[in-house]
Structures are given as structure tokens and as C-alpha cells.
A and B are shown apart, each in its own frame.
Chain A
Amino acid sequence: NAGVTQTPKFQVLKTGQSMTLQCAQDMNHNSMYWYRQDPGMGLRLIYYSASEGTTDKGEVPNGYNVSRLNKREFSLRLESAAPSQTSVYFCASSERLWERSNQPQHFGDGTRLSIL
């Protein structure tokens, strides 16, 4: 049981390049999330998807797009990468968005992205 799987684990991009970070979960969870983690900033929510077919902006959505391809997969796209997007990106999922106390989120291993 893999839980939440992110690919790739590491990536180096040049400014202006585009890239898609992939995330898949095998727990049949409805909700999925993308965070970025920067030193001294903790985790900041980029986008989330309450359920298949819906996506919403989080705290720091600028420069990113997302696609909830199906219930399992939630991808994050950088259309034109900028050095400020150098970060560690985490995908997470949770069982149900609507039920209180059901936040417990399962996290992936993260993608370390460097933009030169």
C-alpha cells in the first residue's frame, strides 16, 4: 500500500521552463492537496481538490495550475518556472473534506524542485 506517491522526487529546471508534478493516491480519498514547504515558512497550501472534478485556490496559487485527472490523481503544473518557485512540494490526501475531524492528511515524500 503506497499511500501517496509523488513523481519526480527531484528536478532542476531553468527559468521559463514548464513542468508537471504528479501525485497519485491509492486510498480512495476524495480530497487532495498541494503544498509548498520553504525554510522558515512551513507548509503553504497552493491548491486543493475537494473531490473529483473540483479544484480551488489555496494560500499561494499564483504561478501554478492544477488538474484533478480522476479520483486518484492530482497534478501540479508550473507553466513558466521562476526561481521563487524553488521549494519542496508536497501532495497530500484525506478521506472526506466535508466531515469535521477528518482532516488527517496522508502526505507524499515530496518533490524537491530547484529553478535556476
Chain B
Amino acid sequence: AQRVTQPEKLLSVFKGAPVELKCNYSYSGSPELFWYVQYSRQRLQLLLRHISRESIKGFTADLNKGETSFHLKKPFAQEEDSAMYYCALGYYSGGSYIPTFGRGTSLIVHP
């Protein structure tokens, strides 16, 4: 079965420190990987997707097929980055596209 693993339930850092939220996946095909973010009392929203190779709010994520990882990184954390982050994998099965989410990592950035 296709799986997404986020090994850290909680990541606590100080403002200005680098941040890396880990995500590993298992999928035999070509993966579609995404990061979603949920700020307190807000809707879950797409942060970035690997195919776009973009940087959003200072975050980047690189797909490493050899290590089957898609870690989310930011060089200098800000307090407003505190949120729940979900890594997600999209894959095709039986002609349908199935999104699968990891269990999430809660990021807390202390002042």
C-alpha cells in the first residue's frame, strides 16, 4: 500500500532557527507529492507541490527519489510558521487518483 510517513509528531524550534519537517513515502510509481498546512482555526491549504519546484513563504521541498523523501525546509523559522503540516502523496489506482496524507507534524516556533 502506498504510504506517507511523517516521523515527528511535534517539532519545536526558536525563531530564526532552520526548520526541516521530514516526509518519507512508499510508492513504486512516479509520485506526486505535496505539502499542506493548517494554521490554527483555518482551513487546510496547499503549501507547495513538488512538480512546481516553488518556494512558498520561504519553504522549499525537494523530492529525493533515492531516499523516497520529500522533506520540507525553511532556513529561518518565523513565529507565524507555527501550524500543522501534512505531507501528501497522490497516486493512480484503478484509473482513479488517490490522495494519501501523512499523520502530520505540529511545528511550534518560539519567540
Contacts and interface: CB of A to CB of B under 8 A. Distances in A.
Do A and B associate with each other? yes
Interface of A: 31, 33, 35, 40-45, 48, 50, 56, 58-59, 90, 92, 97-98, 100-101, 103-105, 107-110
B58 to A, nearest CB: 20
Contacts, number: 58
Ranked nearest first, the 9 interchain pairs of A and B with the lowest CB-CB distance are: A42-B103, A43-B101, A107-B44, A103-B90, A101-B51, A104-B46, A42-B104, A97-B97, A107-B43
Interface of B: 6, 9, 32, 34, 43-46, 49, 51-52, 86, 88, 90, 96-104
A56 B95 CA distance: 11
Given A42-B86, A90-B44, A107-B44, A100 B32 contact: yes
A108 B32 CA distance: 22
Contacts of B9: 40
A89 to B, nearest CB: 12
Contacts of A42: 6, 86, 101-104
